[in-house]
Chains A and B, each alone.
Chain A
């Protein structure tokens, strides 16, 4: 829609607005540079583009349209950029957006390392970063900031849902295949905590770099370990490749269970039900939950040609929530808006009584699902069977167990 062009970069840095925290009542709209700018920073073409990417930009635009295109009488502008899954690109883009592009809120921010980089920048510039695509729990623990929100899922919630369910089925011995960056390591750590606290045992841990195409070595080693569960602590394309290899070597149909700790609708779509059937997963949202979700999802499908992922639904919901908070605060100044975002409950097609905690974690119900068999599926995108709802209070890491400095400060 609206792209920041180079000419805008030419604007004097010296004019970088120093925004005062003054909130002059709701009617005196206090909007910096007369426009509320939302930047969607995402992976447009990489490993995680299917569950974020252009669809996230579209979701944010839908939210802006549904909100009416204006807040406090000022126009809302949506810009987008591709961080190419690089933390440094994300960091420098955010710096530029905040200082020169005067972006008020940056959304999506998946995967984890880009979210962490941008959260830091948001705090430094006192703007808002809402991460829907990232999973690391660090965002609400050691690296929490007063300016960032973690909206959709995190490694704790994912591991908790799936690992818990499998250990309860009596699968006690585990081998992990983990992607070697902050997200994978956190996911592995959180899952191991669940497995061990429920009497399970971890036999071995294997790792692989991001964007691995050949998983034969890891799969053969995992197979030889004799573990009952081969847990995949990775995401997106890596998970797809690992599952394909497992199915090729007959591991999926043997007595070993392959568990993808993070599996998205788009992953199942690209794996096909034949290969993916029976996999257990934890999801923050599914398009076929209720009439409301179905209605929104169909609109999204029409615009993008694919069903929304939980992250994309989160992009819509978080943008709407942000705009409501701006309206309630009467300004786009970050700390005032953040105070409203944290005090207002979230009730929309994404969450029921969702709440943003002190540490920036948005807590809401999560769902345990199983991938349908080809016979059970009635149409394309009809992939998940929701087995159980994990209530918000159990789904996420309790705030008391976390170590966010914002929380300890108040105690």
Chain B
């Protein structure tokens, strides 16, 4: 227990001094994606639902806060709140439709729904700016106190929001609700037989995940003062899956590590001779992860620590991911 606290304190201190050594905007991008991946992990890692459409929430929230703050002069706190509510609402619609199916179908349905949102964003160029995106979103002052146009202040603001959201996710995971989710993930029929309304729980976690993904999206739009089509594109959905998978799904810190790796890759590749080959690297990471590395970085480390200490630390991820819960339809 003590060790955990020490670990968190070190992590917190590192985050506090990080902008002295590292470029703050890189750090903020990292935090936004780490939050996005954590939100996604809530759904995939703890409820076993693979959404291929999380970019819809991320991007929609970015649009909502950008429009409200830029064109209607809303202050940042209301902008964030409105975008979180908006993406939660979208999550409710998506979830309501998608949880009718599970497994692969769930993934395909969320992907298709997100693509529909993408089309809407492309078509509604009067509102979203289409391929131009929305530029020049003002950052403003947080509660009239913090001048967010200062990079360092903005960084600590983003860090604060991140820590708050991350704490919330932790709480959800360790709450009775989180335990029920894991039960559903590991053995859905059993959870049903125990009297849980599985659909209800799935929908709730979907909405929560969507809302938090929205928070990440609108934070990103505030940091970069920009909301664009690439936020809603399926590539972004793929990226967040990769972050979670790479870091270790179903682990608390996995999404952070995954986001760190992917964002760093993106940045170092954007300027090198490999500028065009980012998708190749991402695809390669996907293949490697799936074939040999399904527990992800954090999952592997945890497994290693566990095998060394030999005692039963609580494992968040099953050694071998659960068998599909879809009872596949038989032909004839």
Residues of A whose CB lies within 8 Å of any CB of B are 3-6, 9-10, 12-14, 44-45, 79-82, 86-89, 91-93, 95-96, 99-100, 112-113, 116-117, 120, 180-182, 209-210
Which residues from B are CB-within-8-Å of A99? 23
CB atoms of B226 and A6 under 8 A apart: no
Complex Cα spacing A284 to B138, Å: 37
CB atoms of B130 and A87 under 8 A apart: no
What are 26 A-B pairs at a CB distance below 8 A? A3-B273, A4-B271, A6-B264, A9-B22, A10-B21, A12-B20, A12-B21, A13-B19, A13-B20, A14-B20, A44-B276, A45-B276, A82-B275, A87-B135, A88-B228, A88-B231, A92-B25, A93-B271, A95-B25, A96-B26, A113-B133, A180-B130, A181-B131, A209-B123, A209-B130, A209-B131
Additional A-B contact list (17), CB under 8 Å, known A80-B275, A88-B226, A93-B270: A3-B271, A3-B273, A6-B264, A10-B22, A13-B22, A45-B275, A45-B276, A81-B270, A82-B270, A82-B276, A86-B230, A99-B23, A112-B132, A113-B132, A181-B130, A182-B131, A210-B131
Residues of B whose CB lies within 8 Å of any CB of A are 19-26, 29, 122-123, 125, 130-133, 135-136, 151, 224-226, 228, 230-231, 264, 267-268, 270-273, 275-276
Chain B nearest CB: distance from A396 CB in Å?
Answer: 22
Complex Cα spacing A41 to B222, Å: 24
CB atoms of B226 and A13 under 8 A apart: no
Complex Cα spacing A181 to B228, Å: 12
CB atoms of B268 and A6 under 8 A apart: yes
Chain A to chain B: the 6 pairs with minimum beta-carbon distance, closest first: A181-B131, A82-B275, A45-B276, A113-B132, A81-B271, A182-B132
Which residues from B are CB-within-8-Å of A10? 21-23
Which residues from A are CB-within-8-Å of B264? 6
Complex Cα spacing A87 to B135, Å: 9
Complex Cα spacing A4 to B226, Å: 24
Which residues from B are CB-within-8-Å of A96? 23, 25-26, 267
Give the contacting residue for B23; candidates A100, A112, A113, A180; CB below 8 A.
A100
Complex Cα spacing A96 to B268, Å: 12
CB atoms of A209 and B224 under 8 A apart: no
Chain B nearest CB: distance from A120 CB in Å?
Answer: 7
CB atoms of B23 and A9 under 8 A apart: yes
Which residues from B are CB-within-8-Å of A82? 270, 275-276
CB atoms of A81 and B23 under 8 A apart: no
CB atoms of B275 and A91 under 8 A apart: no
CB atoms of B271 and A87 under 8 A apart: no
Which residues from B are CB-within-8-Å of A210? 130-131
Which residues from A are CB-within-8-Å of B275? 44-45, 80-82
Complex Cα spacing A106 to B267, Å: 18
- Chain B CB count within 10 A is highest, among A12, A13, A86, A100, for A13
B229's nearest neighbour on chain A, judged by CB, is: A86
Complex Cα spacing A349 to B145, Å: 56
Chain B nearest CB: distance from A44 CB in Å?
Answer: 5
Complex Cα spacing A44 to B277, Å: 11
CB atoms of B272 and A3 under 8 A apart: yes
Complex Cα spacing A45 to B271, Å: 13
Which residues from B are CB-within-8-Å of A92? 25, 29, 224
Chain B nearest CB: distance from A364 CB in Å?
Answer: 27
Complex Cα spacing A4 to B275, Å: 12
CB atoms of A181 and B132 under 8 A apart: yes
Give the contacting residue for B224; candidates A45, A88, A181; CB below 8 A.
A88
CB atoms of B151 and A13 under 8 A apart: yes
Chain A nearest CB: distance from B316 CB in Å?
Answer: 31
Complex Cα spacing A182 to B24, Å: 31
Chain B nearest CB: distance from A296 CB in Å?
Answer: 26
Complex Cα spacing A12 to B122, Å: 39
- Chain B CB count within 10 A is highest, among A9, A87, A99, A181, for A87
Give the contacting residue for A113; candidates B122, B131, B267, B270; CB below 8 A.
B131
Which residues from A are CB-within-8-Å of B25? 92, 95-96
Complex Cα spacing A181 to B126, Å: 10
CB atoms of A117 and B135 under 8 A apart: yes
Chain A nearest CB: distance from B198 CB in Å?
Answer: 39
Complex Cα spacing A10 to B21, Å: 6
Tell me whether A89 and B122 are in contact in the complex, defined as CB-CB below 8 angstroms, given that A95-B25, A180-B130 are known contacts: no
CB atoms of A116 and B29 under 8 A apart: no
Chain B nearest CB: distance from A372 CB in Å?
Answer: 33
